[in-house]
Structure 1
Amino acid sequence: MKDAPFVSTTNACKLCTPLGAALAFRGIEGAIPFLHGSQGCATYMRRYIISHFREPMDIASSALGEKQAVFGGGPNLKKGILNVMEKYGATVIGVATTCLTETIGDDVPRLVYEFKKEFADLPLPEIVTVSTPSYSGTHMDGWHAAMAATVDQLADPEPVRHGGVNVLPGFVSPEDIRHVKDIFEDFGLAATILPDISETMDGPALLDYEKIPKGGTPVSGIKAMSGARATVEFGRLLGLAESAGHVLQRRFGVPRVSLGLPMGIRETDALFAALEDISGRPTPARYARERGRYVDSLVDGHKYVSGKRAVVYGEEDLVIGLTAFLAEIGVHPVLVATGGKDKGFKAAVAAACADMVPELPAIREGVDFFDIAAEAGELAPDLMVGHSKGYRYAKQWNAPLVRVGFPLHDRFGGQRVRHLSYGGAQALFDRVVNAVLARQQDACPVGYGYL
């Protein structure tokens, strides 16, 4: 029956919660992600992350089995932390729970408290704990929960005020993080970016393997976040949960500036306006030139993409940013979908594109690719925008797939895809235009070499 309810998921449009936490912890200097659960969880996540970033990714595990599922995983957790201390020399261990340990009821904060008392004679690392069962959300929920826990547990409870700025960029590429650093530096702002995966997930070739790659947000910087002059946080859907920015505001009174992902002109203009207010400086000329070049390219290329119909999918905040960007360049998003739910997604998408499209797209949350395919096939999209998991449907509908976000398993360089600021919009616009042109050229029976 077509309308019969079902509870199964077919080709999920999201990833598991602890995966997001593990990847976020990788953006802290000297940190090792640690999954309290079965060995298979860590193995799956490592393979998934490595396939996208093309970098080694160690994730420790308490490796619970049937015995621990019955009697509790406390001894395995404590032994695992000791092993990580010995083998890696980690200065931070980020402990994320899994479905198994949440289901059996392990009290991880209590177990870590016991561990610190039992081994108080050892030079212990910082240990951050976060609850991330997969049945509670998506990888983005895990990412944001890990960062909120990090700030809550590591920020100095007696802050020393300083002129620096906290930056919480969300899950963007290492290339994006590098560019965000440049922007804040050009405004004369000392920025602490959390997490910083710009080097840990896109590092140089080395002669010797590093157990913990260089880079990441220093612990000293995280401790000082409680004394910053402001926090700039990217993400439209963070208002319904306590993000790291909310923690800093609630506990330490650090003003929070909430922005959408700066993708396209309007959202990037909002970022630069905020930085002008914080820094007291005008926007540097290089960014005005970037903006002007992007506008010029819109004039040159609008005839190729204006009125094209797009299906957009992926993690919530990226999809909102992509929808605003596509509407801005004249593409009509006809279906906007995400695997997350219950965060105000529909209202945020509508606000991002309402005055730039002839009619609002179909907006779906909490869906898998079975749901997306069932609806999108009837909409005859001209292109799809999202990660690699949508390829089979793009091929089925003979629509080009512009690959963005995570994961990109069937293309090279996912860690260097740029999405943010005017330069990121420029790169995405060029890719969208060229994807449309390539499909038209390939479909032409005689072919042509000039457009």
Structure 2
Amino acid sequence: MTTMTNYTATTNACKLCKPLGASLAFRGIEDCVPFLHGSQGCATYMRRYIISHFNEPIDIASSSLGEKNAIYGGGANLKLGLQNVTTKYTPKLIGVATTCLTETIGDDVPMLLHEYHKEFGSEDSPLVVSVSTPSYAGTHMEGFTAAITAVVDQLSTKTEPNGTFNIFSGFISTADIRYLKEVCNDFQIKATLIPDYSDTLDGPALNDYPLIPKGGTPLEAIKAMGGAEASVELGWTFPENTGGNVLKKKFGTELYQLGHPMGIRASDAFFELLAELTGREIPDKYTAARGRLIDSMVDGHKYIFGKRAVVYGEEDLVIGITGFLAEIGIHPILCASGGKSGRFEEKVKEVLEGLNCELPLVKEDVDFYDIEAMAKELGTDIVIGHSKGYAFARRENLPMVRVGFPIHDRIGGQRILHLGYQGAQNLFDQITNTIIEKKQNDSSVGYSYM
């Protein structure tokens, strides 16, 4: 059995920081500027990571704290920063996320914001939402979820039933968001999808640079989420407090939680839920896509059956990919994540239930030093995850399929479709062809026909 080295240092984390996730979530809200209450370096680092994946500019404001503020507090910088952002960007919403520094020195951000509104607030002032996101208390996924929960909690109001549905997508690609919009349109669902960065982080080429790109979940729709018929949250490792739970507690909005629709079984569950909620048949285009996927799985089964895969990344993504791999005959031998929800292993077992697949080694709160050591010992045929795993895949001469975030050594990482039958089709083709290419390249004759 694989054991873990007893050390306390992190050499190469399999996660990113909590306020980075919050910044991504805020970017998916209409006319919102993400604002980090902390040092300038935090905002610079996060902008670099986000830009390298999405290939889009993103502004993240900062209160730019220094040594003096670490002693006397950052309230003055926060207020000045909010004034500057309001003047320069004229946003409708500013999303304030804390960093390690401000949490460590103990800045009371809600109190500071209350003071700010009393001192500088007016009818034209933007709304301000705050969320606590110290990196030492979680990963970018926790920051992402916490920011969306804060937006819903602080902006939603009691409203009359409006016939809409709330869809909390979780952290997915811009292509996945567009896919969910298409599905809702085909089911004739009036949906509030949150967050929606499909345009704000993957927009068209423009002649002039907009300070705040168009798009995002409309603020008025967020305020009215309590009047929806139901909320649907997509993911596997939900924390106790989510946007859907907030709406259920405050307004009694019915809540459904189910896994991201990756692969056949999870996609079936998603489409069946939509059919149940709307009373409509699943559109023919999706049943046809399901049939093509199954046909391709039969065609390609002989090339991938029994291959052994290491999967890593955000817990929800790894769980979804793991279930899909088992469906197509690949054995996930290691499921690894830097997250530590405490539900990772349980949900991996859940998605593998009833499939002819042995349970993989499941490790949470690990870094790539651990992942590489375990991959060597277990015997791996393919690596599936984001770009941070490329170094060890290269050292071990393992083929790699890039999914999730961040992908910063290829173009189009933000446009990878993971969801639904079409997403599964794309992943199946890529995984199968990657395995075929590896065998072909290793062949002494370099054959050109399968």
Note the C-alpha offset of 1:250. 1.2
User: Would you say the 8 A contact 1:38–1:61 is kept in 2?
Assistant: yes
Alignment correspondent of 2:429: 430
Q: 2: distance between equivalents of 1:135 and 1:17?
A: 8
1:22-33 matched pairs, under 5 angstroms: 22-33=23-34
User: Would you say the 8 A contact 1:326–1:332 is kept in 2?
Assistant: yes
Structure 2 residue 297 is the aligned partner of structure 1 residue 290: no
Note the C-alpha offset of 1:355. 2.5
Residue identity (%): 58
1:402-441 matched pairs, under 5 angstroms: 402-441=401-440
Alignment correspondent of 1:113: 114
Note the C-alpha offset of 1:343. 2.9
Note the C-alpha offset of 1:393. 1.3
The 3 A distance-change label for structure 1 pair 21 and 206 is: same
1:385-404 matched pairs, under 5 angstroms: 385-404=384-403
Aligned residue identity for 2:415: R
User: Would you say the 8 A contact 2:17–2:135 is kept in 1?
Assistant: yes
Structure 1 regions of 5+ residues with no counterpart? none
SS in 2 for 1:334: strand
Q: 2: distance between equivalents of 1:303 and 1:413?
A: 29
User: Would you say the 8 A contact 1:34–1:95 is kept in 2?
Assistant: yes
Q: 2: distance between equivalents of 1:267 and 1:354?
A: 12
Note the C-alpha offset of 1:337. 0.4
1:357-372 matched pairs, under 5 angstroms: 357-372=356-371
Q: Deviations over 1:102-156 (max 9, x none)?
A: 0000000111111111113361111000000000000000000000000000001
Note the C-alpha offset of 1:251. 1.1
User: Would you say the 8 A contact 2:199–2:214 is kept in 1?
Assistant: yes
1:265-414 matched pairs, under 5 angstroms: 265-414=264-413
Alignment correspondent of 2:146: 145
SS in 2 for 1:311: strand
SS in 2 for 1:70: helix
Note the C-alpha offset of 1:3. 6.6
Q: 1: distance between equivalents of 2:357 and 2:202?
A: 40
Q: 2: distance between equivalents of 1:58 and 1:120?
A: 23
1:61-100 matched pairs, under 5 angstroms: 61-100=62-101
Alignment correspondent of 2:104: 103
Q: Deviations over 1:352-382 (max 9, x none)?
A: 1133244100000010011111111111110
SS in 1 for 2:116: helix
My pick for the range that moved more, 391-400 or 166-175, is 391-400
User: Would you say the 8 A contact 2:187–2:283 is kept in 1?
Assistant: yes
Structure 2 residue 174 is the aligned partner of structure 1 residue 174: yes
SS in 2 for 1:50: helix
Alignment correspondent of 1:133: 134
SS in 1 for 2:224: helix
Q: Deviations over 1:175-202 (max 9, x none)?
A: 1100100101111110111100110010
Aligned residue identity for 2:135: S
Q: 2: distance between equivalents of 1:354 and 1:262?
A: 16
Note the C-alpha offset of 1:4. 6.1
Q: TM-score, normalised by structure 2?
A: 0.98
Q: 1: distance between equivalents of 2:241 and 2:296?
A: 39
Q: 2: distance between equivalents of 1:224 and 1:32?
A: 21
SS in 2 for 1:35: strand
User: Would you say the 8 A contact 1:354–1:360 is kept in 2?
Assistant: no
Alignment correspondent of 1:54: 55
Cα RMSD for the two superposed structures: 1.0
Q: Deviations over 1:306-336 (max 9, x none)?
A: 1000000000100000000101110000000
SS in 1 for 2:201: coil
SS in 1 for 2:125: coil
User: Would you say the 8 A contact 2:4–2:370 is kept in 1?
Assistant: no
The 3 A distance-change label for structure 1 pair 433 and 410 is: same
User: Would you say the 8 A contact 1:21–1:144 is kept in 2?
Assistant: yes
My pick for the range that moved more, 200-209 or 389-398, is 389-398
Note the C-alpha offset of 1:6. 2.0
Q: Deviations over 1:259-290 (max 9, x none)?
A: 10100000000001110111010101110111
SS in 1 for 2:348: helix
SS in 1 for 2:366: coil
1:121-270 matched pairs, under 5 angstroms: 121=122, 123-156=124-157, 158-238=158-238, 240-270=239-269
SS in 2 for 1:242: coil
Q: Deviations over 1:392-449 (max 9, x none)?
A: 1111222111000000011110111000000000000000001001100100011011
The 3 A distance-change label for structure 1 pair 80 and 122 is: farther
